[in-house]
Amino acid sequence: MENLLDHRLTTLMVVAQTGSLTAAAQQLFITQPAVSQQLASLEADLDVPLLVHHGRRVKLTPASTE
């Protein structure tokens, strides 16, 4: 579980840096649905929303910066 969590946190960091699920997927060499699935899984495990969608862009919620 620890490696999986680390991988999902890395995905979240790349999404935060790029502001885009698609750009993060390209940078991570995975598909955009895989990025979405990893983030949804992380949000479910932590029981907090981590991203706010603004059209094609995303921003971190206050909970994801704590």
Instruction: List the domain boundaries for the chain.
Output: 2-65
Structure token digits, residue 43 = 């949000």
Which pTM was predicted? 0.86
CATH class of 2-65: mainly alpha
Q: What is the mean pLDDT of each run of 10 residues along the chain (66 residues)?
A: 76 96 97 96 94 91 82
Helix (H) or strand (E) holding 4: helix 2-18
- Give the largest Cα separation in the chain, rounded: 32
The terminus-to-terminus CA distance of the chain in angstroms comes to: 21
- The per-residue pLDDT for 1 is 55
- Within 10 angstroms of residue 16's Cβ, the number of other Cβ atoms is 16
- The per-residue pLDDT for 5 is 63
Q: Which amino acid is at 27?
A: Q
